Chain A
């Protein structure tokens, strides 16, 4: 299972929390047979990927989908975002239902214009869920690649942030100290 790859610190932390929040176990065990994700089902992953790509679309530089934002969010849903598991499960369902009732298709199958229109028109709980996804997508795209998003530091390259920072710029040279 994928989450076995989570480093030992995270795993310990997860287990500790899982002990106190049994709801967690229930949520993660059902409905995700054969899913490539840790928390999401295959279908949820597809919907979320399309939403994230709306939030940060591909233009002359890759967007959220290429950067692996869903991988990032899925991973955090088993860790720091675990309190939002239920919100994701019901939020994604709600957006798909809205897509079906408005356009007769799942969200991921809509064309870009329809997707944008649908997201702009969200209200109430679905709108609140969408703002959570916006925040998480920004974290996954612009945050540190070590958490599973921002693949190849794609956003940092886009912004022009040196990926390997230059160190030791101090004008004071004290070679004997040797501490640097």
Chain B
């Protein structure tokens, strides 16, 4: 089936794709936004401890479909296995309108200035592909601000001395603080740290025509019942549709990006909700399917001219796959820390993001989101039985008397951590599935270990009577913070897209999502993905009007 030609077709209605759709549609371009998942409401995705985007023993709540979307994961010993979306190692984000932003924890971090200049700051460690970004914090700053104001961020970063220069404060005040915050804040101050209220893509006051957060127990991994969590599904995408220039097609799984004899992108072939093969032609093609699926789509777009897939002349598509090396510590207290006030995470320090002697980068450290009872089951420290009376006692005694502090340690990218397409395993539509393999650079593990010390020290200062560390594994991370697989760079021989997210070799093919991140900061990535989408889309719109270069 073929449709009316449009100016732009975008694959994936997540953080990057949602923002890009809105900017292009508002700029007067006709846009078709393809999304493999559905447009869910909170009522479709009940608050279910065992079936959500974070804890999924019984499945996930916002896709992708369990039966249709396997992947192959290769572990550090070279063992490979087929995994389903709700199983460990899959690196699932989401498959729905809004992508990860429908259910995310909504921490809204700007990367710091040094995060864009990692190679200059630290040098390039052996065995890594560490590199500077081709753009700076200063260039991205106006777009961070735009994301904060258009999508909506609450919080207060005024006592964080480490953030880059900003022209405006956050548009909304922080949420009222909970008990963990009041316990941790003075402790951080005693240690000489600089605690502050985490910026969150979450309404603390009415904003954007939506009500404030009611601070419930089920936030991260869940859809918000009152629509207080700000994602592209309740901001950019409705705004794009309201322009009249954008059509959203759900249940549409992109198969490949089509090119003509001269190598220009001509559109996208996809399977619609009834699994019919369709074609949407466009002047511009934008791939925004998140780091794993964007790489897979480019690699699966093979032709005589591009036998290794699009953008892959030098073999970089899918490499530098990264997420974060999440590490931290747990502490037990002889008083109650639990207050049932969500979302949980509320206080952070950025004292350890950079400047750790002998280390490369670091992490923002923050208290964890509310852990639901089942999530606490695997927390037990070394020495506590994994089952039986001892385990039950542990649960009963400590569930309401514990705090976790963690941070997304910045990863040192390596070429061998990668997304490929599998030679044998196919998905429901017969397309080769993503194959994930690789591990972490030893320097990443070193920094993570140091972060567990810092987290533990903070907990001790807060009065924890017992603490223990949680160090991330050595395997490749990806996960919900997946990034890096279509690196941005000036040199086409070692990157996939240019500084405007345009695929080298193609003047009308773009990747706009976490894939383009050169490095992933010591922070959750969504706000940066949104900022880059604003930045790249503005350029496309200006270019169309003949005003840009």
Contacts and interface: CB of A to CB of B under 8 A. Distances in A.
Contacts of B377: 138, 142
Given A144-B48, A174-B206, A180-B214, A159 B373 contact: yes
A108 interface: no
Contacts of A137: 387
Interface of B is mostly: loop
B122 to A, nearest CB: 40
6 pairs of A and B residues whose beta carbons are closest in the complex: A179-B211, A142-B373, A143-B50, A142-B374, A159-B399, A55-B387
Contacts of B176: 169-171
B373 A54 contact: no
A166 B187 CA distance: 29
A116 B389 CA distance: 11
Contact of A162 (B204, B211, B340): B340
Contacts of B376: 142
Interface in A114-173: 116, 134-139, 142-144, 146-147, 155-156, 158-162, 165-172
A134 B386 contact: yes
B119 interface: no
A159 B395 CA distance: 7
A170 B67 contact: no
6 contacts: A59-B392, A160-B338, A165-B216, A168-B214, A179-B211, A180-B214
B396 A165 contact: no
A135 B204 CA distance: 37
Contacts of B213: 170
B214 A167 contact: yes
A36 interface: no
Contact of B392 (A57, A135, A170): A57
A80 interface: yes
Interface of B: 48-51, 57-59, 67, 86, 175-176, 204-206, 210-217, 226, 338, 340-341, 373-374, 376-377, 386-389, 391-392, 395-396, 399-400
Contacts of A156: 373
A100 interface: no
Contacts of A17: 67
Nearest to B373: A142
B206 A16 contact: no
Contacts of B387: 54-56, 134, 137
Interface of A: 16-17, 20, 54-57, 59, 61, 63, 76, 79-80, 116, 134-139, 142-144, 146-147, 155-156, 158-162, 165-172, 174, 177, 179-180
A136 B377 CA distance: 11
Contact of B205 (A144, A159, A169, A174): A174
A172 B215 CA distance: 12
Contacts of B341: 169
A168 B214 CA distance: 5
Contact of B67 (A16, A135, A159, A165): A16
A76 B58 contact: yes
A135 B211 contact: no
Given A55-B387, A161-B373, A179-B206, A139 B57 contact: yes
B323 to A, nearest CB: 24
A56 B392 contact: yes
A59 B58 contact: no
A142 B37 CA distance: 30
A166 B340 contact: yes
Nearest to B389: A57
B58 A160 contact: no
A170 B212 contact: yes
Contact of B48 (A134, A138, A146): A146
Nearest to B226: A180
A177 B442 CA distance: 53
Contacts of A144: 48-51
A139 B205 contact: no
Contacts of B373: 142-143, 155-156, 159, 161
Contacts of A134: 386-387
A142 B213 CA distance: 26
B374 A177 contact: no
A132 B308 CA distance: 41
Contact of B58 (A16, A56, A80, A155): A80
A158 B216 CA distance: 20
Contacts of A146: 48
Contacts of A143: 49-50, 57, 373-374
A134 B374 CA distance: 12
Nearest to A61: B396
B389 A139 contact: no
A157 B470 CA distance: 28
Nearest to B176: A171
Contacts of A56: 387, 391-392
A24 B213 CA distance: 44
A143 B204 CA distance: 29
Nearest to B336: A160
Nearest to B215: A169
B388 A172 contact: no
A147 B214 contact: no
B180 to A, nearest CB: 15
Contacts of B226: 179-180
Contact of B399 (A80, A160, A169, A171): A160
Contacts of B392: 56-57, 59, 63
Contacts of A20: 67
A143 B452 CA distance: 29
A144 B46 CA distance: 11
A20 B211 CA distance: 45
Contact of B400 (A159, A172, A180): A159
B82 to A, nearest CB: 11
Contacts of A169: 176, 214-215, 341
Contact of A79 (B58, B204, B206, B338): B58
Contacts of B215: 169-170
A171 B391 CA distance: 38
B48 to A, nearest CB: 5
Interface centre among B338, B341, B387, by most A CB within 10 Å?
B387
Nearest to B205: A172
A161 B216 contact: no
A75 to B, nearest CB: 10
Nearest to B84: A83
A23 to B, nearest CB: 15
A135 B450 CA distance: 31
A159 B67 CA distance: 35
Contacts of A162: 340
A76 B51 CA distance: 12
Contacts of A167: 214, 216
